[in-house]
Amino acid sequence: MLFRLGGRWLRPLSVLQLGTRDPPLVPASAGGIKHSAPPVWAVASVSAVDSGGPGSWYEALATSAPVQGTEEVLLGMHSATGLPWWACIGLTTVALRGAVTLPLAAYQHYILAKVENLQPEIKSIARHLNQEVAVRANQLRWSKRVARLTYLKNMRRLVSELYVRDNCHPFKATVLVWIQFPMWIFMSVALRNFSTGATHSEAGFSVQEQLATDGILWFPDLTALDSTWILPISVGIINLLIVEIFALQKIGTSRFQTYVMYFVRAVSLLMIPVAATVPSSIVLYWLCSSLMGLSQNLLLRSPRFRRLCRIPLTKSDSDSPYKDLFAAFYAKFISRK
């Protein structure tokens, strides 16, 4: 029995096929080679993209040059090392994070350290400017609104001049986000293409077959979901740990920063059910990326590494950052009554 979907005739899977453990075989090709049919969720997702419906935006992303370039990087790494795919995904993640995001993270800390060292000078300027504006407002009979606007306008100008003088505009510290997040998206989509057989690389279907047998431990099939939820929960825990480490080093946070922290914690928890709905290859990448992010965060606390990266000393720097971090973590989560 055939049914029509999006201009294409498809044959539905039978109830028996859905209930079997192994995927059904499709008819042999002209060369006599038989391939395993992709999982049902893969067929559904690919059909949704091919239909030109709501998934058309995803099709544009999945076939974009950055995603195809990422696929070539993964294929090149696999071909060069000969490692199983689980190890290849981990090695590629470590290489990209070490070569791209670690230098950018060091640069981010460099900019933030210079901005922090400017704070005493900014406070001094604010104090003198406030006195000068008060005198002028009294002489010219300004209203409180005019005086406030004059103060803010001149304060923004003076602070901007300081940033230009020391070449440390805070916006430069966001470069890491603008690079890391797209890279995370491209890697995730490339691995999904491999896992669903939707990749536009010539080796696409063979990669899907390799992923189905190149897992490890409790996830031998990297194209399947992790039914144990161990990988998704691990991703959520590591992300939460990164957030808490970042929160512990912040002293006197504002109300807005507190709300941002709560939002990021919620996103970290939301990643758990999301990770449970995607192939294990993607979740493995997310876990490796989060572990590298945690290691990167701890490494950038090292005084020796900060000196190596020429990150300026600040008032908040500690000679024993790891001991201080453990003490703060213990006081907040363990010894709290």
Question: Which residues, 6+ apart, have CB-to-CB distance to 94 below 8 Å?
Answer: 288, 292
CA–CA separation, 124 and 118 (whole Å): 10
CA–CA separation, 205 and 201 (whole Å): 9
Contact 207, 75 (CB under 8 A): yes
Question: Which residues, 6+ apart, have CB-to-CB distance to 259 below 8 Å?
Answer: none
What are the tokens at 243?
Answer: 């957030």
CA–CA separation, 307 and 310 (whole Å): 5
What are the tokens at 279?
Answer: 């192939």
Backbone angles phi and psi of 201, in degrees to 5:
-80, 150
Output the pLDDT for position 253.
60
Asked whether the predicted pLDDT for residue 256 surpasses 60, the reply is: yes
Output the pLDDT for position 199.
63
Cβ atoms within 10 A of the Cβ of 16, count?
8
pLDDT in tens, 19-65: 333 444 444 443 443 444 444 444 444 444 444 445 588 788 888 88
Region 200-215: mean pLDDT is 71
Region 109-116: mean pLDDT is 92
Cβ atoms within 10 A of the Cβ of 70, count?
22
Cβ atoms within 10 A of the Cβ of 326, count?
12
Question: Percentage of the chain surpassing pLDDT 70?
Answer: 79
Output the pLDDT for position 113.
92
pLDDT in tens, 124-164: 999 999 999 999 988 888 888 999 999 999 999 999 999 99
Question: Which residues, 6+ apart, have CB-to-CB distance to 158 below 8 Å?
Answer: 125, 129
Question: Percentage of the chain surpassing pLDDT 90?
Answer: 40
Question: Which residues, 6+ apart, have CB-to-CB distance to 280 below 8 Å?
Answer: 215, 219, 221, 222, 223, 224, 225, 226, 231
CA–CA separation, 337 and 228 (whole Å): 34
Output the pLDDT for position 68.
87
pLDDT in tens, 214-247: 888 888 889 889 889 999 999 999 999 888 888 7
Asked whether the predicted pLDDT for residue 195 surpasses 90, the reply is: no
Contact 255, 199 (CB under 8 A): no
CA–CA separation, 18 and 171 (whole Å): 52
CA–CA separation, 288 and 292 (whole Å): 6
Output the pLDDT for position 336.
62
| Of 322, 317, 309, the residue nearest 104 (C-alpha) | 309
The HSE-up count of residue 206 (CA atoms within 13 Å, CB side) is 7
Instruction: Look up the pTM and report it.
Output: 0.75
